[in-house]
Amino acid sequence: MDDYKFLFKVVLVGNAGVGKTCLVRRFTQGLFPPGQGATIGVDFMIKTVEVGNEKVKLQIWDTAGQERFRSITQSYYRSAHALILVYDISSQPTFDCLPDWLREIEEYASSKVLRILVGNKIDREDREIPENVGEEFAERHNMYYLETSAKESDNVEKLFMQIAEDLMKQARTRDLPRYDSNNQTIDGRTSTINDSSCCSRLQ
Amino acid sequence: MWSGCCGCCSAFRPRYKRLVDNIFPVYPQDGLVKSNMEKLTFYSLSSPEKLDRIGEYLYQRAARDIYRKKYGFVVIAMEAMDQLLLACHAQTLNLFVESFLKMVQKLLESTEPELQILATQSFVKFANIEEDTPSYHRRYDFFVSKFSAMCHSGEKEEVRDKIRTAGIKGLQAVVRKTVSDDLVENIWEPVHMDKIVPSLLFNMQESGFHKKESEAIDGGQEDTLDPPMLAETCMRELVGRASFGHIRAVLRPVFRHFDLHKLWVPNQFAIHTFRIIMFSIQAQYSYTVVETLMAHLDDNTKSSPTIRTNIAGVLSKIIAIAAGESVGPSVLEIINSLLSHLRDSVKNEASQTEEKEYQEALINALGEFANHLPDYQKIEIMMFIMSKIPFPLVNNNSPADNLLQSILLKSLLKVGTKYQTIHLNTTFPVSFLEPLLRMSLAPDPDMRLLVQKILHTLIDRHNNLEKLSKPTVNVADLDLVLEKSSRPDLIFINKHGPIIYDALYTSLQIDTNVPDNIEAVYTTLALLCVELACAETVIDLLQLTLGIQSLALNSTSLSNAQKFNLHAIVISLLMLIPTVVNIQPLANYAAQIAEQRKQEALHLLPDLYSHYSDNSEVANKLPHLLVDQMAVCEYVKESGIDPSRLQQTSPYGAGGPGLIAGSQRNSWIENGARGSIIELPIAEVDSAASSPGVQKKHTEEDLNFESMKKVLTEPPEIRKEAEAERRKMLSHTFRTATFSELVRRTQPKHDVLQSKLNEIFKSLTANENRSPTDEKKEDIIPHYEQNFPELFYY
Ligand SMILES: Nc1nc2c(ncn2[C@@H]2O[C@H](COP(=O)(O)OP(=O)(O)O)[C@@H](O)[C@H]2O)c(=O)[nH]1
Ligand SMILES: [Mg+2]
């Protein structure tokens, strides 16, 4: 029921209005929220998923895109296992800002963080960024790439599930031995996927 | 997994589970079953080893109920947890706490505002209990992250404030819980502070409270506070708990937040916040805040002057709080840093109005700071500032140098106005007085004026400055405040009178003077007269007054207007002196001349103008309107004062070289001010290597003066020998010593502060463009030597 073996922290970043909050709500609550206000600061949701036979808890942090909240949002990059960088395929400016976001990620996030580029709103007719442009950008910067629609629920599940699987793989190959032996936590349920103290060990 | 029906199989279940199940009512709205809760509590107390299993079981029930959205039961489970936590003894709590915190986290993870708030309340309760053995493996990461997120809640209005309040209280609780023991969790790590601090600031700035400052603070109960007030309280507590190593951890995110939220302009909120920080920080660290603000100015050198002005404005608002706590070296470091910022600003060639505002803000900060220092430190600071003023004061300085000089003088003036002189000898140590007087002869009239203003504020002890700011013959109307001068004052003026008078006299000879300059010299003299009123000084002052008159009569370089100005201050002084030291016959005499001038020659009376009508008769043609030396002697004698010194040859020879050479005047000015400061390198006339571009403006007078003195006093060979010897010594000294050392050498006693000052100065001069040490490097020692010969007369 609420028994999980891995806890991963996922942080979404990107310009305001690209659909970060909608992606999170779609994935965790299965809905496309009508007209909610812009996110202030940070917010988080959880969802427990199953990978293989293991329960994996995803702690998904949704951040405000506006610059003025950068002082608080940046502080959440550090402990992220995965960073989803979102832009809106129907808005060139949101794509043009990607290098700035990458700079920030470079500065504040762990170097081992899993990075995914997401082009959202593919349901829209007025696409401005062709798929291959987004893909090339992702490739150049060593990121996974996926196009989604929070509205139509396209690829949203896939996005988070792939992240969970990937992080699981990482965790197993890199840290699982240690997890089994000396890194046993109090209730034996949580693992860290790298040797930083990213994971809360309270669960 | 679960049947949902608890009662049916209860007989086969462990006792603790049955006890737990029984606290839950059938309908959640009935609330916790109190009697059964008592039983559970009693059981937990008598079987503490079961406590952890009870906790785990309660947690599982709550997790299930959250999943099923049966929030009523969740609330009851949490309440039970709270009660057990408070009832049970510390040594048995350890494992129970883990379940307790898991439960709190579980509730915080739900999207239900009510559960989040409830969980926070439980967390606060937990934070308040003392645990015997801290759990070193426990991490508060999640709580800091979640509470910080709650501080930014974007829910609808009423809910929003509740969640934000809960978030702030949660953060406060985490801090309280962890702050005493770094091993449990180092709350000062950036990973935490970077969340906590912006969250508090975000709430503090969310209301206009910082604008209605006055009604704040009384606060009252913590639970009645709105998010901004609560956040402020929490900020105070956080800052107050920070030890030295942690201050920066708190400050760094503060600065980042202000930058990103663009909160420097306008700066009310910044001022408010930094005041809070200054008032809650442990006093001995307040200097760090000032230092960090100044470092932030450094980081913003490329930002718009408006931002810098506002940051400097914040600095000036809080710097006074630091002043009370700053000691020795840190005082000078602050001053030093402010001066460096001024210098950097001056280098921004295009000094537009915004840049000027920035400089003003810095000067204000300097003044504010100095204002709150004890007086003895103000003198140190004035001397320090003085030491930073680039020499030489020559005409061909770059505009930046001139600007820097005048800005530093303005700073000096600012500090000076905050200083209250008691005894002149403490205000003017020689090492301060002499450079100041030297600067009073700077080529730039504005700079000379500034120096006089500094003298004014430092000399005036009885608030006569305003009254004496303009020359006048209506002395009776002035309503001057007089006090008999003290012995230390008299000793001071006996010792230093000559160089002061000489500098003032010399500055009147400068042909670039405007009426403001001449008036300012008058004010200085008048203040000296009022502050040092006694028979001994009267003669000196009269002598000087007569000297000024002959200067006006004999000078070949001054304009007619300047000469009229001089006559006007002569008569004003002659009116003032006998009033201050009651010499009635002299007063009558002065009044009579003034009256005659009123009839025949208004241009020889105040006010001072820069232009007079062409038919204004030169005073030489009006001997009956002049002050007669013999008459003055006579009247002084009548009043029982010995006039013999007045009758001797005047030291103020209206430029006549023979007279000067024959006088017993202090050699300092002769070699220093006269010779090299006003018109820089007189003796360089015979130096082929004089720096190019140095404008030589020497008058015949000056030339004659230098050379004739030597001709008169020494046979040529000896002169050459001595000259060479002196040069050798000078260059050696300048090669091996820095300016500050030289200053130090000349002043035998100095304290720690002084040597610290020297040290800082040393490090600074290294990167000063036109500093004396640099010139030394450039191998123009003779040039330099000409500027500081007086260093060797100390
Ligand atoms: N057509 C379309 N609109 C979307 C999609 N995702 C989000 N939006 C809209 O984009 C706007 C901003 O979404 P939001 O999730 O608040 O963006 P955020 O600022 O990145 O969190 C809202 O009006 C959403 O309805 C999508 O996949 N397709
Ligand atoms: Mg959003």
Q: Which ligand is nearest to the CA of A24?
A: 1
In the block, residue with structure tokens 């209730």? A187
B578 or A35, which is more confident: B578
- Do A193 and A167 form a contact (C-beta atoms < 8 A)? yes
**Partners of B725 in the β-ladder:** none
How many helices (H) and strands (E) in chain A? 7, 6
B214-240, pLDDT tens digit by residue? 444 444 444 556 888 999 999 999 999
- A32 Cα–ligand 1 center, Å: 9
Q: Mutation test of the interface with chain A: which of B146, B185, B205, choosing the one with the most A Cβ atoms within 10 A?
A: B146
- Looking up tokens 């579980």 gives B106
Q: pLDDT of B489-539, one tens digit each?
A: 888 988 898 899 999 999 999 999 999 999 999 999 999 999 987 877 888
3-state helix, strand, coil in chain B (%, to 5): 70, 0, 30
Evaluate whether ipTM surpasses 0.90. no
Q: Which of residues 80-139 of A touch B (CB under 8 A)?
A: none
**Contact between A38 and A120 (Cβ < 8 Å):** no
Place of tokens 């530093």: B408
Is B191 in Cβ contact with A72 (below 8 Å)?
A: no
Q: Is B664 exposed, middle or buried (0-12, 13-18, 19+ CB in 10 A)?
A: exposed
Q: Which of A6-15, B60-69, B200-209, B227-236 has the lowest mean pLDDT?
A: B200-209
φ, ψ for residue B26 (rounded to 5)?
-70, -45
What DSSP element (H or E) covers B359? helix B353-371
Exposure string for B636-650, b = 16+ CB within 10 A, e = fewer:
beebebebeebeeeb
Residue B157 has pLDDT above 50, yes or no: yes
| Residues in chain B closer than 8 A to A104 (CB atoms) | none
A82 bridge partner residues: A10, A114
Is there an atom of ligand 1 within 6 Å of A16 CB? yes
* Token output for B63: 């997790």
Partner B contacted by A2 (CB < 8 A): yes
Q: Is the CB of A20 under 6 A from ligand 1?
A: yes
CA distance B369 to B671: 37
pTM: 0.72
- Nearest C-alpha neighbor of A94 from the set A58, A61, A124: A124
Q: For residue A118, which amino acid is it? A: V
Residue bearing the CA closest to ligand 1, atom 3? A121
Identify the H or E element spanning B570.
helix B560-580
Crossing angle (nearest 10°) for helices B244-260 and B268-280:
170
* Phi, psi angle pair for B510, to nearest 5°: -75, 130
Predicted confidence (pLDDT) per residue in B669-678, tens digit: 333 333 333 3
Which comes out higher in pLDDT, residue B626 or B745? B626
3-state secondary structure of B356: helix
Amino acid occupying residue B178:
T
Q: What's B453-521 look like in SS3? A: HHHHHHHCCCCCCCCCCCCCCCHHHHCCCCCCCCHHHHHHHHHHHHHHHHHHHHHHCCCCCCHHHHHHH
pLDDT digits (tens, 9 = 90+) for A82-137: 999 999 999 999 999 999 999 999 999 988 899 999 999 999 999 999 999 999 99
pLDDT-derived band at A175 (thresholds 50, 70, 90) equals: low
Q: Indicate if the pLDDT at residue B662 is higher than 80.
A: no
Q: How far apart are CA B259 and CA B253, in angstroms?
A: 10
DSSP code of A147? Answer: E
Separation of alpha carbons B657 and B709, rounded Å: 8
Ligand 1 contact via A26 beta carbon (within 6 Å): no
